[in-house]
Amino acid sequence: MKKSIIMIAMICVAASAVAQVTVKPYGFVRNYFDFDSRKTYTVVGGEYNMIPYDRSWNEDATVDLNDVPHAQLQALTTRIGLNLEGPEIMGCKSSGKIEGDFGGFGTNNTVFRIRQAFVKLSKSSEKSNYEILVGQTWHPLSGDIMPEVLGMAAGAPFRPHSRTPQVRAINYWGSFGCTASLLYQLQYMNNGPTSATNPASTNSIDFARNAILPEAFLGFNYKQGAWYAQLGVDAQILRPRTHAQIAGVTKKVDETVESLTPTLYAQYVHGMWSVKFRTLLAENTSHLNQLCGYAVTGVNDDGSWNYAPIRNSISYFNIAYGKKYRANLFFGYMKNLGAGKGLYDFDADPTAVQYRIYMKGGENFTHLASIWRVAPSVSYNVKAFNLGLEYELTSCEYGDIDANGAILDNANLHQVVNHRICALVKYNF
DSSP-derived 3-state class of residue 149: coil
Residue 347: predicted pLDDT: 79
Is residue 278 a contact partner of residue 265, using CB atoms and an 8 Å limit?
A: yes
Strand residues in 108-256 grouped as ranges (E) = 111-124, 129-138, 163-173, 176-183, 191-193, 201-203, 215-224, 227-238, 243-246, 249-252
User: Within 10 A of 429 (CB to CB), how many other CB atoms are there?
Assistant: 9
Gap between the terminal Cα atoms of the chain: 20
Which of 253, 233, 202, 244 minimizes the C-alpha distance to 362?
202
pLDDT digits over 270-315, tens only? 999 999 999 999 999 999 999 999 999 999 988 899 999 999 999 9
Please state the rounded mean pLDDT for residues 237-263.
93
pLDDT digits over 353-365, tens only? 789 999 998 888 9
Give the DSSP letter of residue 89.
Answer: B
Helical (H) or strand (E) element with 15: helix 2-19
* Percent of the residues in the chain that have a pLDDT greater than 90, as a whole number: 77
DSSP-derived 3-state class of residue 285: coil
Q: In the predicted model, is pLDDT for residue 15 greater than 60?
A: no
State how far the Cα of 149 lies from the Cα of 158, in Å rounded to an integer.
Answer: 12
Tell me: cis bond preceding 157? Omega within 30 of 0 counts. yes
Delineate the domains of the chain, giving CATH numbers in brackets: 81-423 (2.40.160)
Q: In the predicted model, is pLDDT for residue 110 greater than 80?
A: no
User: Within 10 A of 44 (CB to CB), how many other CB atoms are there?
Assistant: 20
Residue 152: predicted pLDDT: 86
pLDDT digits over 115-170, tens only? 999 999 999 988 899 999 999 999 999 977 889 999 988 999 999 999 999 999 99
State how far the Cα of 97 lies from the Cα of 393, in Å rounded to an integer.
Answer: 36
Is residue 165 a contact partner of residue 124, using CB atoms and an 8 Å limit?
A: no
- Main-chain phi, psi angles of 428, to 5 degrees: -95, 150
State how far the Cα of 387 lies from the Cα of 273, in Å rounded to an integer.
Answer: 19
State how far the Cα of 87 lies from the Cα of 15, in Å rounded to an integer.
Answer: 13
Tabulate helix, strand, coil % of the chain (nearest 5): 5, 55, 35
Q: What is the DSSP string of 310-356?
A: PEEEEEEEEEEEESSEEEEEEEEEEEEEE-SSPPP--TTSTTS-SS-
pLDDT digits over 45-101, tens only? 778 889 999 999 998 889 999 999 999 998 888 999 999 999 999 889 999 999 999
Geometric angle at alpha carbon 22, from 21 and 24, rounded to 5°: 140
pLDDT digits over 366-399, tens only? 999 999 999 999 999 999 999 999 999 999 999 9
Give the DSSP letter of residue 406.
Answer: S
Q: In the predicted model, is pLDDT for residue 11 greater than 60?
A: no
pLDDT digits over 163-221, tens only? 999 999 999 999 999 999 999 999 899 999 998 888 889 999 999 999 999 999 999 99
Amino acid at 370: S
Beta bridge partners, 32, equal 74, 424
Tell me which of 43-52, 101-110, 229-238, 250-259 is least confident: 101-110
Q: In the predicted model, is pLDDT for residue 400 greater than 90?
A: yes
Q: In the predicted model, is pLDDT for residue 14 greater than 60?
A: no
Q: In the predicted model, is pLDDT for residue 337 greater than 80?
A: yes
Residue 351: predicted pLDDT: 56
User: Within 10 A of 174 (CB to CB), how many other CB atoms are there?
Assistant: 11
- Main-chain phi, psi angles of 352, to 5 degrees: -110, 155
Residue 291: predicted pLDDT: 93
Q: In the predicted model, is pLDDT for residue 6 greater than 80?
A: no
Is residue 20 a contact partner of residue 11, using CB atoms and an 8 Å limit?
A: no
- 112-to-96, 162, 239 alpha-carbon distances in Å: 19, 17, 31
User: Within 10 A of 22 (CB to CB), how many other CB atoms are there?
Assistant: 11
Is residue 23 a contact partner of residue 8, using CB atoms and an 8 Å limit?
A: no
Sequence-ordered list of residues with C-beta below 8 angstroms from that of 202, at least 6 positions apart, any chain: 191, 192, 193, 194, 362
Contacts within 8 Å (CB) and 24+ apart, 94-101:
94/119, 94/120, 94/121, 95/119, 95/120, 95/122, 96/120, 96/135, 97/137, 98/12, 101/76, 101/77
Q: Average pLDDT, whole number, for the chain? A: 91
- Main-chain phi, psi angles of 92, to 5 degrees: -115, 150
